[in-house]
Structure 1
């Protein structure tokens, strides 16, 4: 397994995945196979409005309410995951592309300038390979995530 240490967070990637530096405080996490899923990790200090944050707009494009639907999604369940995360999904309608935005926990919650990670990905909801890679990424991330100062649930029961 490949480990990622960035934005004051540490987590593992599924077997075969690669990490590539892609600019200042930005990394590409690449899946496997013919159509590898690609996740962008960007360190940010202030999130504000997740849907219209400049980092999200730069990576995924602007939110287009007339063409997109927006909903929350859970990454990992408290029962089987060390660290469940809430993500926002933007779906382009009509079409099969789903854009997801998830925020990693802030390491130092008392410091509003402490960096934390923003994960952004695009996947095709009709591509079995993308679905499998996304599930593997989320499972590995939520089970291995370690944020300084937070207690990780390793037993599968409520902390």
Structure 2
């Protein structure tokens, strides 16, 4: 049986230092961590201008689709029980990234479009481009503003 995959391809026309840094950061993080609530990177290619990431496929798509555009997609609204389950899955994934992984990472772009849902609505955090490594023993770090433009939490 063939496995369904999701492919994220960098367009050659948009390659710049920031995009390359985020692409390499995503590979760096996802090859070091593995958790049931972090999207699974299956393969990647960094050859020339063909930069490709291959992930496990998340059939229910982005959480934002179920939160904000459910009517457009003719979906049922998420029940409160399902919302709580998704929130707990995300918290478990973040807890692993922050303190349980071999190295600690700060995500910096945790928004509903970066939370993907499996068939049974289990949440998987994705988009690790803006992630920042916490140096050994560090309890907090200072970072520059990162994330999706226009969607940064207030201070």
Q: What TM-score, normalized by structure 2, do the two folds share?
A: 0.27
Greater C-alpha radius of gyration: 2
Richer in helix (by share): 2
TM-score by length of 1: 0.26
Q: Which has the higher strand share?
A: 1
